[in-house]
């Protein structure tokens, strides 16, 4: 059963499936949410993790930037390709997808994300 969104979240209309950080703070502690802002939005990484729901979300005061180096799908060790990241920037926003999981899946979800990022060849 999907949780109903409040009538208005930071000015968003009730007709949109939209969540913000304020909404995330209000949800039950027994849930885990992951904010996807790049390939997590579309590559079905969550399919076998029993994702309970997905919603469009807006992360306020952050924006996307290609400032991480990767050799996974492009680039080389000597010349890595750019990879998407988030940086804090006042008055900006980043639209993405929120994935909801039961808290009992927390370790499994976090391990999957760690494995995914480690395997990507990303350098900080």
Residues 27-50 have pLDDT tens digits of 555 578 999 998 889 989 999 999
DSSP designation for 7: S
Share of the chain above pLDDT 90, in %: 37
Q: What is the pTM of this model?
A: 0.67
In this structure, which long-range contacts are made by residues 20-29, counting pairs with CB atoms below 8 Å and at least 24 apart in sequence? 20/57, 20/58, 20/59, 20/60, 21/59, 21/60, 24/57, 24/98, 27/3, 29/103
Query: At residue 111, does pLDDT exceed 60?
Result: yes
Chain mean pLDDT for the chain: 76
Amino acid 119: pLDDT: 56
Specify the higher pLDDT residue, 36 or 21: 36
Q: Would you tell me how many other CB atoms lie within 10 Å of the CB of residue 95?
A: 12
DSSP designation for 123: B
- The residue annotated as part of the active site, out of 22, 31, 115, 117, is 117
Query: Among this protein's residues, is 89 annotated catalytic?
Result: no
Reading phi first (left if > 0) and then psi (alpha if -120 to 50, else beta), residue 121 is in: left
- Domains in the chain with CATH codes: 18-119 (3.10.490)
Nearest partner of 56 among 9, 99, 27, judged by Cα: 99
Q: What are phi and psi of 85, to 5 degrees?
A: -145, 175
């Amino acid at each position: 059963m999907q949780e109903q969104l409040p009538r208005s979240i930071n000015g968003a209309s009730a007709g949109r499936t939209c969540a913000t950080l304020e909404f995330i703070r209000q949800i039950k502690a027994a849930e885990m949410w992951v904010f996807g802002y790049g390939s997590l939005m579309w590559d079905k990484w969550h399919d076998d993790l029993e994702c309970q729901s997905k919603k469009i979300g807006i992360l306020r005061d952050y924006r996307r930037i290609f400032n991480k180096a990767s050799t996974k799908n492009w680039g080389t060790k000597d010349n890595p390709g750019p990879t998407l990241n988030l940086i804090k920037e006042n008055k900006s926003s980043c639209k993405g997808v929120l994935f909801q999981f039961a808290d009992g899946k927390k370790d499994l979800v976090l391990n999957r994300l760690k494995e995914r990022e480690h395997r990507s060849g990303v350098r900080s």
